[in-house]
Structure 1
Amino acid sequence: MIRKAVVMNVYPDKHEEYEKRHNEIWPEMVDELHRHGATNYSIFLDEETSKLFGYVEIEDEETWEKMASTEINQKWWSFMEPVMETNPDNSPVSKELKQVFHLD
């Protein structure tokens, strides 16, 4: 199991909408995440800075990297584009974090 963490940005006036969309995540998106090895997936919001902290556990990098190109993921990115900072391909602007400590 590999632990991954990223930081992203939600627009300050879109906190509630961001949370709403994730509370209503499409079942087919959940299925695809699981098919690509994702488990224990959480996203946290710092309301003061509008920073999002995402954490996910994956089985392997190669399978996980294929998630980005799936049809449902592309659709999700387009759906989320109005509420968060995105790249030209609608992927979230994100910065991967390096794990420096873990305690079981």
Structure 2
Amino acid sequence: MASALTKYKLVFNVPPSALEACKAAIFAAGAGRYPGAGNYTECCFTVFGKGQFRPGDAANPHIGKVGELEYVEEARVETLCVGEDVARKAVEALKKAHPYEEPAYEVYKIEDF
């Protein structure tokens, strides 16, 4: 039961053109729901910035060309996942919805104090 209440933060970067599709996918998987009487859903924080990468010889990049340094506008999204199962389902949904062959994401366990 304790693991069902464990909180995780999912953080990922995505091009603006795929932002809404990725958010819809993770929210459908249960991310972005805050426990409590308020029944808040689809909660996240989004900030825009510039990322960079250089695709390697074996890459099949969604944006850019193999061997060339690419700069792209991206959105960074942070959201809550309550329960390890929700975090895993949200990551799986993100990977399916995200246009990159290797989406950048992180999952953090949130410690309660």
TM-score class normalised by the smaller sequence: 0.3 to 0.5
TM-score of the two chains, using structure 1 as the length reference: 0.44
TM-score of the two chains, using structure 2 as the length reference: 0.42
Q: Which has the higher strand share?
A: 2
Between structure 1 and structure 2, the one with the greater Rg is 2
